[in-house]
Structure 1
Amino acid sequence: MSLSFPSPMAIALGCMVAAFLVSFACVRAAIAYAHRRGMLDAPGQRRSHTIPTPRGGGIGIVIGVLVSMPAALWLLPPSPGVAIVGAFTVGVIAIAAIGWLDDHGSLPIKPRLAIQLGATLLFCLAVSAHTASLWWAAPLVLAGVWCINLHNFMDGIDGIAALQVVVFGAATGIIAVDAGAFGIGIAAGCLDLAALGFWFFNRSPARIFMGDVGSATVGFIVFALTAMLWAWRTDLLWPELILSSAFVIDATLTLLVRMLRGARWYTPHREHLYQWLVRRGNTHSRVAGGYLVWNLAISVPGAWIALRHPAVAPACCGVAYLLGAAVWRTGKRSCLRRRERHVVA
């Protein structure tokens, strides 16, 4: 009697359900673990919360991803190949491990950056081997390390990073399936549901924060999905960049402004737009909701237009980023004017 192999739809459903359930369960366990180990983020001048809150909840996303995404990428057609799946899995484990250690006790930046560079380089070499030239690995590494760190920078208030990943994962899944990359699409769906399992505990008021184990690893996964879709079909880069526009714009423009001002840009701060909005009296829910509105009103429709009309995809991406930069500048100027009025009063 022969055993029948599960159908692709059964595998897809199993991977996504496993991602959510494992993430949800692990985040619950992480809350108790963080309290026992004293892994608490205390309020401070450079923080946006007001009560001590456990960190490290992103371990739930990581474990949810590891039990689902490699299986989806390997078992569902068309698979990106054993080299890419293996490099992706190793990269997730390595970046999550160094982030988990940092959540237990602050580590110097050099070992963290070295692990990020090594893991990203391994993955980029595997992806570049499927393109016209291995030289693509160089710009991919730079993009990957920046994606890792910008997600770390943007994880500063309740729910904002988790909601960003939920939207990115769902939209990327639809884009990938529509483009014929079913395995990558289901893998993106696994990320979406793993992030949703975490968001339940991270929505305002947060019961636990993502921590470096989550934010840095999520940044790597977002980059990895984008790179895999780019290698599958180069024009898919544009809708993926549009989906990440909210975080890329806020993190990149904030960093550039700090560098131009001569500030120590690599030190912790509260200069991102979302942090200014909270400092001006907006709740975490309202600010995170504002970024969600951008994603649903601009990023998702823009990405869909770029997907359906590849000829105008670069222009769609450019318009989205220019519009986002204008919104960022307007928001910053509004916050600064409100601060000046408060000081004068």
Structure 2
Amino acid sequence: MSMIPLILSCLVACILSAGLVRRMVSVGVMDVPGHRSSHERPTPKGGGVGIVTAFLIALPLDHIGLTGHLPGWSLLLPEIAIAGLAFFSWRDDIHSYPAMAKLAVQGGAAALVVIVTLAFPEGPAALPLYLACALPGFLWLVYVTNALNFIDGLNGLASGSMALSSLGLALLFHLDGETLLRNAALLLGCALLAFLPFNFPRARIFMGDVGSQGAGLALSWLGLEAMLRSTAPWMPLFLLAGILGDVAFTLVRRGFAGNRLTEAHRGHLYQLAVRSGIPAPAVTLLHWGFVLWGGAIGLAPLDMPARLALLLAPQLGWGLYVLARARRHISGAW
């Protein structure tokens, strides 16, 4: 099969993403730093408009080039969900809506994706099994979308990790012969990679919630598809283990400390690492390494206990190291 349609679609994704990101730099919706911010000067945000728009346009074009016909609901509903969440998140970047409103929109978008990904059950007898599968899928989508939003606090950390994870899923889908899903993951990776030079190592623009949540939902959708249809259903968890682990640890620690979980803070492991004196680019590169390591372990011919040990050992070591540094170098509550 000719690869020309896919190559053209990837070029469209890269050019559109970079062009729109450049345009968003000049729009000038600024992220003004506060006492919890990692940056020190006002910086434009909204670069995610380019990422999400490029993905949403390139994906149906690729589908038409590959199949010769318009995409069906299995593709259109996830696109509608991603577009809706991205639009709301862009408005939130400007107006800052309440946390419960954000969660409600995330839940609605996740429900749309779950409905089309799992498909409706045939007859009432299949409904309990459908619901048993739908709930974990729904929670996965909401948790990953929020985790990628929470982790978007250092230049290149979230966007680079998502780009590498997308490419990892594209490789998995390629090995499994899932052409449409491979192309979708590759296009998402291209849109994210085109944004990265604008954000790392020096940030000319941030993704904003429109990027971290819009692209986050797209990535979590592809991860759910991999869990359901690939020969390595653990791969999405392995690729995102560093990010998901950081967020889970932070939520648990803040919960036990009696902190409000919806309150902005600087208590993530990656934030503590920077506050303790580790250069921000080094922390970002380490998280990219976690993604690559997770992908390599996920595809390695090992049994699951060995995979888990190899996956978790460096992350546990990193967490203990950061906590030790935080106790020595950070004064006050963290």
TM normalised by structure 2 equals 0.90
State how many pairs are aligned: 323
- 2:9 corresponds to: 15
Residue 257 of structure 1, CA deviation: 1.0
Residue 293 of structure 1, CA deviation: 2.4
Q: 1:17-61 CA distances to partner (integer Å, 9 max, x unpaired)?
A: 11111000000000001x2xxx21122211111111111111110
- Counterpart check, 1:191 vs 2:191: no
- 2:296 corresponds to: 301
- On the 8 A contact 1:278/1:287 being kept in 2, the answer is yes
What is the letter of the counterpart of residue 209 of structure 2?
D
- On the 8 A contact 1:163/1:199 being kept in 2, the answer is yes
Residue 324 of structure 1, CA deviation: 5.0
- 1:98 corresponds to: 88
- Tell me, which stretches of 5 or more residues in structure 1 are unaligned? 1-6
What is the letter of the counterpart of residue 102 of structure 2?
R
Instruction: Identify the match of residue 37 of structure 2 among 30, 47, 64.
Output: 47
- Counterpart check, 1:162 vs 2:177: no
- Tell me, which stretches of 5 or more residues in structure 2 are unaligned? none
Residue 125 of structure 1, CA deviation: 1.1
> Where do residues 1-345 of structure 1 align in structure 2 (5 Å cutoff)?
8-33=2-27, 35=28, 39-72=29-62, 76=66, 82-129=72-119, 133-135=129-131, 136-233=133-230, 235-296=231-292, 298-305=293-300, 312=303, 314-315=304-305, 318-320=308-310, 322-323=312-313, 325-339=315-329
- On the 8 A contact 1:273/1:331 being kept in 2, the answer is no
Residue 66 of structure 1, CA deviation: 0.6
- On the 8 A contact 2:294/2:311 being kept in 1, the answer is no
Q: 1:144-196 CA distances to partner (integer Å, 9 max, x unpaired)?
A: 11111000000001111111012111111111101111111111111111001
- On the 8 A contact 2:276/2:326 being kept in 1, the answer is no
- On the 8 A contact 2:86/2:213 being kept in 1, the answer is yes
Which whole-Å CA distance do the structure 2 matches of 1:317 and 1:190 have between them?
28
Which is further off, 142-151 or 131-140? 131-140
Which whole-Å CA distance do the structure 1 matches of 2:317 and 2:74 have between them?
37
Which whole-Å CA distance do the structure 1 matches of 2:163 and 2:283 have between them?
16
Q: 1:188-227 CA distances to partner (integer Å, 9 max, x unpaired)?
A: 1111110011111011220001100000112101111011
Residues 232 and 156 of structure 1, relative CA distance in 2, 3 Å threshold: same
Which whole-Å CA distance do the structure 1 matches of 2:145 and 2:103 have between them?
10
Q: 1:111-141 CA distances to partner (integer Å, 9 max, x unpaired)?
A: 2211111111011011111788422111111
What is the letter of the counterpart of residue 304 of structure 1?
L
Which whole-Å CA distance do the structure 1 matches of 2:306 and 2:13 have between them?
32
Secondary structure in structure 1 of the residue aligned to 2:22 = helix
